[in-house]
Structure formats: structure tokens, C-alpha cells
Amino acid sequence: MDAVVARLTGRSYLTTDRVDGVLVALASVGCWWLFEWYNAPRFWRGGADQVGLWWRYHDMEPNLFLRRLGYDWAFATIFPALFLTAAALRATVFGAVRVRPWRVSRGALKLAIAVGAVSAALPLLVVSPWLVPLVWIGWALLLEPLNFRRGRPSWLADLAAGDASRVTALLASGLACGVLWEFWNYWALTRWTYTVPYAGTVKVFEMPVLGYLGFPPFALEGFAMYTWLRAWLGEGSRTPVL
């Protein structure tokens, strides 16, 4: 995907934006460990089969150090895959998607931040498998308005200008990557399975079918999280690859 994006846009994480590529990978590791904390605190201290609230890993490396290396290597690919796929889709399929300029009111931004904060905190305070949707929307609701207000790269700012290419590309990227991840996982020896209360027995690969609804907002959330983290290094307004 990096090569495709380089051909389409002249930019990529491996050619022109190497620092961003490293930062995206590091942010991907850190943010996914946050999601693992939601799923099962201290999950990586157990044995070969890991039990989580919503997903569990099977046939893992029993050596903790080697398993941690494997986790981090895999987690480092999540955000780069989402963003590069979205960049390719934005440069081709969704590049011309425009909408009527839509600017969110200040009150709506404050409400989104408040709802996002509650949504991000509640699954940590209340242990319930029914709260998993909040994990995939809470940080987006919390951080995207903050990015928008600070003038950082933002799909809310795009919509305010009538440009829906980035948000639609991210949504499509989330679904595309999610389907591919579940397809590859289904055939793997070391893999994950799910415990989801929403039509959990109706599956496509290992994922309950309703679980696929979480991938598109997860892509929006990942972009908001990375943009917010990137700003702490003083370059939050820098134009991203996506």
C-alpha cells in the first residue's frame, strides 16, 4: 500500500515521510495497548491462551519477552495499514466526494467532547461486554473536536469546507482492512476469537457479523488519536500523507 500511495500521490511513509511513518507505527502500538487494556488488563502475563472481555488470543508464544515482541510488531502495522489504504482510496475512488459545507456548532463540539470522555472512561469503570461499541467511538468523539478547534488535520474541518474525501476514505479503509484482517486471522494457527453479545453466533470468519460495524469508526478514531498525539511534538498542523 505504501508503494501504491507513492505512485498515486508522490508521498509515502517509506520514501518522503519516514519520520511520520515511524511515529504512526509507534502511535499504533501505544493506542492498541490501550485497547488491550480495555479488553483485559494484564492480559499478556498469562499462559498460551489469553482470555479477554471481548476477544482472546490462542496458541501464543509462551515466552513473555518473545510474545511481547510479536504483539508490538503486529500492533505497529494497524494505523499504517488504515492510513495508507485510506490515502490510496482518497486519491482514487473518493477524491471527488464533496458535500454541502457543514460546520459543527461550538455547543455541539462541547457536547461531543463530553460524550467522548464518558464513552472512553465508562468501559474502564464498568466491566461489561455490552460496552464494547464505546471503545471504538469514544476517543473519536473526544479528540476529533479538539483537533478541529486547534486547526490540526481533521475530517471535521474537511466537512466544514465541503470536502468529504478523507472521511469517506477512512470509513472505507476501516471496513476493507477489517475484512482482510479477519480473513487472514481465520486461517492462522496463532489467532484471535471473539466473545460479543450482539448476534455473536452469526459470524463472517471469526468476527460476529455486527462486529464489522466497528471497523469504519475505528479508522476515524485512529486518525483522530494519531493527529492529537502528533500535535504534542509540535507538528500537529503538518499535512499528513492521508
Is pLDDT at 237 greater than 70 in this prediction?
no
In degrees and rounded to multiples of 5, residue 191 shows phi and psi of: -150, 180
Asked, for residue 126, whether it belongs to a domain, the answer is no
Residue 41: pLDDT band with limits 50, 70, 90: low
Residue with grid cell 510474545, as numbered in its chain: 67
Asked, for residue 180, whether it belongs to a domain, the answer is yes
pLDDT in tens, 167-213: 999 999 999 999 999 999 999 999 999 987 887 788 999 999 999 99
Asked, for residue 149, whether it belongs to a domain, the answer is no
DSSP secondary-structure letter at 103? -
Asked, for residue 55, whether it belongs to a domain, the answer is yes
State how far the Cα of 222 lies from the Cα of 232, in Å rounded to an integer.
16
Residue 242: pLDDT band with limits 50, 70, 90: confident
Q: Are 72 and 29 in contact (CB under 8 A)?
A: yes
pLDDT in tens, 99-153: 999 888 999 999 999 999 999 999 888 878 888 899 999 999 999 999 999 999 9
Asked, for residue 130, whether it belongs to a domain, the answer is no
When divided into structural domains, the chain yields a total of: 1
Asked, for residue 179, whether it belongs to a domain, the answer is yes
Q: Are 28 and 75 in contact (CB under 8 A)?
A: yes
State how far the Cα of 204 lies from the Cα of 221, in Å rounded to an integer.
23
Asked, for residue 224, whether it belongs to a domain, the answer is yes
pLDDT at res. 40:
78
pTM for the whole structure = 0.92
Residue 165: pLDDT band with limits 50, 70, 90: very high
State how far Cα 111 lies from the chain centre.
22
Asked, for residue 154, whether it belongs to a domain, the answer is no
Which residues form the domain of 225?
2-96+163-231
Quote the cell numbers at residue 192. Answer: 484471535
Report the range out of 39-53, 60-74, 117-131, 162-176 with the highest average pLDDT.
Answer: 162-176
- To the nearest 10°, the Cα dihedral for 229, 139, 174, 180? 90
Q: Are 225 and 143 in contact (CB under 8 A)?
A: yes
pLDDT at res. 51:
60
Q: Count how many residues are written for the chain.
A: 242
pLDDT in tens, 150-161: 999 999 999 999
